Amino acid sequence: MVLPAVLLSSCGNKGKSTETETSEQPVGIVFQADSAYSYCEQQCLFGPRTMNSEAHDRCGQWIAGKFRSMGLEVTEQKATLRGYDGTPLRSTNIIASYRPEAADRVLICAHWDSRPWADNDPDERNWHQPVLAANDGASGVAVMLEVARLLATAEEAQRQEQKDSTLNKVLPSVGIDFICFDAEDWGTPQWAETLSDGDPWALGAQYWAAHPHREGYKARFGILLDMVGGEGARFYREGYSRHYASQVVGRVWQAAQVAGYGSFFPRQDGSTITDDHVPVCQVAGIPCIDIIPFYPDCEQSSFGPTWHTVNDDMKHIDRNTLKAVGQTVVQVLWTE
């Protein structure tokens, strides 16, 4: 998954977070946690989606097919990348675009591959076992798929002129790109003797940031969803997010309050994390934040007790966490 970086104590924030009182109201579009849970489970049924595996390739086809079935334009960006140890990785970034013709765009992203090694497991006998990655990968894709389903449902309601007040017959006015980054979790394992010359994490995001799926691609902002289904998760304000996209942090944390899930998004600062949003900010030049949990009192890991362990499975996915994150994303998108 990701590694904590040194906390940015003097990072030169580009303006303070905007978290003021607002007259904004809940949008009335209901994120269905059961649906997101099912999407998470369906990914896990393929098994660990480790790079170069059959399970990885089959799950990628399934993800792309689900987005297409919802009416989105899908681009599969393929590249052979190099792992920390030089292993060639057959990578596919899956980009699903809503209103692809719109110039004004928002980016929602997550990674979809699984960690090949449970190198943070408390039992060292599991350190070379693959991670099922229900939370660390599948949960973020599941939230994106449910948001895409809501978009498709709302569009169909508009076309048929249904009088369903729960949909309000309102759609986001921006184009939206859902990007499933690949090869995020092939970072150097804790037991490895070989060290990479470059940054071995977030390889798919690094590639996309340097080679976007559309020439000259720009988005107003981005939101990365990472480990957004874990039990007991709380989402503190991550360091690089505050540094590169403080206004987006303020907007998203305010949306969580409006949607009724402010308790999941405490207005407190967390760690600074090397993750997919970093190349999006630094290379693509798109202000992108990371919604990622922070467990300050967890002895096993500040990412929670299942991070990079064999216990990252569906038994530890919480519908309440999926709901909190999904409804917050819906609040943001439907008010753009």
3-state secondary structure of 178: strand
How do 105-111 and 73-82 pair as beta strands?
Answer: unpaired
Torsion of the alpha carbons at 203, 206, 210 and 212, rounded to the nearest 10: 80
pLDDT at site 10: 31
How do 88-98 and 105-111 pair as beta strands?
Answer: unpaired
Torsion of the alpha carbons at 77, 275, 248 and 173, rounded to the nearest 10: 20
Q: What is the pLDDT along the chain (336 residues), one digit of tens a residue?
A: 555 554 443 333 333 444 445 689 999 999 999 999 999 999 999 999 999 999 999 999 999 999 999 999 999 999 999 999 999 999 999 999 999 999 999 999 999 999 999 999 999 999 999 999 999 999 999 999 999 999 999 888 887 765 555 544 578 989 999 999 999 999 999 999 877 778 999 999 999 999 999 999 999 999 999 999 999 999 999 999 999 999 999 999 999 999 999 999 999 999 999 999 999 999 999 999 999 999 999 999 999 999 999 999 999 999 999 999 999 999 999 999
The number of residues making up the chain comes to: 336
Give the pair of three-digit tokens for residue 42.
């369906």
Give the pair of three-digit tokens for residue 87.
């292993």
- Smallest CA-to-CA distance from 192 within 130, 137, 128, 133 is with 128
Give the pair of three-digit tokens for residue 316.
């530890």
Task: Break the chain into its structural domains and give their ranges.
Answer: 3-333
pLDDT at site 17: 42
Distance CA 100, CA 321 (A): 30
319-333 and 239-259 helices, crossing angle to 10°: 90
Residue indicated by tokens 């929670």: 304
- Smallest CA-to-CA distance from 44 within 132, 107, 129 is with 132
pLDDT at site 93: 99
Give the pair of three-digit tokens for residue 223.
């939101």
Provide φ and ψ at 230, rounded to 5°: -80, 150
Cα-to-chain-centroid distance, residue 68: 19
Give the pair of three-digit tokens for residue 143.
């939230």
pLDDT at site 156: 84
CA distances for 215 relative to 80, 210, 211, angstroms: 20, 10, 8
pLDDT at site 4: 54
The CATH code belonging to domain 3-333 is: 3.40.630.10
